[in-house]
Chains A and B, each alone.
Chain A
Amino acid sequence: MFAIPPPDVLIQGILSGILMGFVYALIAAGLSLIFGLMEIVNFAHGEFLMLSMYTAFWMYALFALDPLLSVPICAAVLFALGWLSYAGIIRRILGGPMLAQIFATFGLAIFLRSAAQFLWTPDFRQVGEAWIQGPVRILGISVGLPQVVASAACLIAFGILYWFITGTETGMALEATAQDRQAAALMGINTERMFALGWGLGSACVGVAGAFLASFFYVFPHVGGLFALIAYVTVALGGFGSVPGSLVAGVIIGVIEVLGGLLIAPAFKYVAVFVLYLIVVLLRPQGLLGKF
């Protein structure tokens, strides 16, 4: 089973892993943002991604909008979804028992997944003719153009998010609320608004990622499951609450997934990723860059 592939295959794999890693990173960033604010894991994160992908798909199927053009739409739809989820559900269970915190979003996940199946059937949907498709050569290595564009976009989104948090007043208020809720409230920051904003922003990140994924990945009600699991691992590795940590961790996970597949066996690539999660949370619970 162990086998070292030739160097060009290895390099191609690593490059693909890095590209996918940026996408994982953006998905994880949203999760990390939410957790940093209120110590709640959004178990419906994968389903948010799924809804974003469906949005992009329907924009394509009904209005012939390429997913690239749907990015702002998906971001907006998901922002609203996140905000509403907070206002309608999360707000009521903050500070409640652990059971309520876990199952509130867990139930939401099951509901959204099943509702998607109910409304749109379990059939796999695909954006047939995306503007961005096919291979591209980077330094002589062939990789997918959609993956390159997606990762570039996710990097840009990351940059915007980071600038927002550190460079704008609202962003800094958000960060302050994450650091110390009571102190922030004392300073006059409307913590309720910050929480809702956090959910909205975190979901919007997933919205952007989903729009780009839709250009090369197939869409169906359960598509969010595996991406969400990978996101949990990414957040844990990067550090719950650390947005920059998600970036680093995402890339690492992406590369480990591919290397695990190339060097050990593709059937176990996700086992490698999950084992990594266990190692990280057990040995270094704060992850690479997280506050704990």
Chain B
Amino acid sequence: MTALRPVRGVRGIALLAMVLLAALAFPWVFRLPYHRDLAIKVFLYAMLAQAWNILAGYCGQISLGHAVFFGTGAYTSTVLQMTWGMNPWVGLLAGVVLAVALSLLIGYPCFRLRGHYFAIATIAIGEIVQTLAINWDFIGGARGLTLTIQKDSLLAFQFHTSKYPYYYIMLGLLTLCLLVSWRIERTRLGYYLRAIREDPEAAASVGIPVAKYKQIAMAISAAFVAAGGTFYAQYVLYLDPDSVLPLSLSILVCVLGVVGGTGTLWGPLVGAALLIPLSEFTRITLGGTGRAADLVIYGALLTGVAVFQPAGLVGLIGRRQG
């Protein structure tokens, strides 16, 4: 499962340039806050899914509790900001550091576990962290934290008059994540990760330090997810355990990655670009009646992809064999 084939050579570069140009121009064409918000959400979830992909797709470690890193990022930068007045950008870095530390804490014991056990362990950890957050008054507990509104400024990481800055920051973060993934794919790190995914015992037997590279993958993954968390906090200006730590977020990230295509560069983005608007569409058209139509589709897609086309949508486009 490697990068989408068309993105090679001159034709590939031209296509890439067009996509980038379109992304840059989007907010000038679509000026309504709602459309920009949709695009921002697509970019955010695409980045989260791609980050998850680094651990699950490239390295084969299926995490079902990735929301812990999102929450770590969001809470760290927010608490530092509100308690000690720390600048949110510095807070973002602090959140990343904490998330990486957390990933080491989780990875060290848990990477010994195989497939299913590891997955369940990540769910358990997610639940533990969410329960702790709900009962920890210092970080607001169940009541959450409302960020103090400040004047528009890049320094304060808050923009109220328009969404342009949020859009470009998120696009930047996504691009960075994609670049990092691309580099991983083409270097020895990617080779090791793939080897670990395909056959950990064989990889160990040829001398690859399996645990170390799993940790690296998880650390990179956690870093981006945490950055996304800080972005979310600065964008919505309110957070509580239910919005940044829930199992449903972990699940969503998996769905986008799997349906789009794990182990690929473009899979999660394709997944997000398709499923997030779909979700919005069903919510607006059917939402008033109280039914979870989009989730029904997600579930069916997830199973369908797992059974028939594990390479995901990208696999379909690239016409790979499974």
Contact = CB atoms under 8 A, between A and B. Distances in A.
B304 A107 contact: yes
A119 to B, nearest CB: 8
Nearest to B298: A110
B202 interface: no
B125 interface: yes
Interface stretch (B84-92, B111-119, B214-222): B111-119
Nearest to A273: B124
Contacts of B147: none
Nearest to B106: A278
Interface residues of A, number: 49
A213 interface: no
B303 interface: yes
B303 A107 contact: yes
Given A92-B307, A97-B310, A99-B310, A106 B120 contact: no
Interface in A273-289: 274-275, 277-278, 281-282, 285
B254 interface: yes
Interface stretch (B39-47, B126-134, B160-168, B182-190): B126-134
Given A103-B302, A111-B303, A278-B121, A271 B290 contact: no
Given A121-B290, A277-B121, A107 B302 contact: yes
Chain B residues touching A, range: 35 or more
A39 B135 CA distance: 36
Contact of B306 (A39, A99, A121, A274): A99
A106 B302 contact: yes
Interface stretch (A75-83, A126-134, A138-146, A229-237): A229-237
B15 interface: no
A109 B299 contact: yes
Given A236-B120, A267-B135, A100 B307 contact: yes
Contact of B109 (A41, A100, A271, A282): A282
A103 B296 contact: no
Interface in B116-162: 116-117, 119-121, 123-125, 127-128, 131-132, 134-135
B262 interface: yes
A117 B291 contact: yes
Contacts of B255: 107, 110
Contacts of A274: 124-125, 127-128
Given A99-B262, A110-B251, A267-B131, A89 B303 contact: yes
Nearest to B112: A282
Interface in B275-318: 290-293, 295-296, 298-308, 310
Interface in A131-164: none
A117 to B, nearest CB: 5
28 contacts: A41-B116, A89-B303, A92-B308, A100-B307, A102-B62, A102-B115, A102-B119, A102-B306, A103-B306, A106-B64, A107-B300, A107-B303, A107-B304, A107-B306, A108-B303, A110-B298, A111-B298, A111-B299, A114-B293, A115-B299, A118-B291, A118-B296, A229-B123, A229-B127, A265-B135, A267-B131, A281-B117, A285-B117
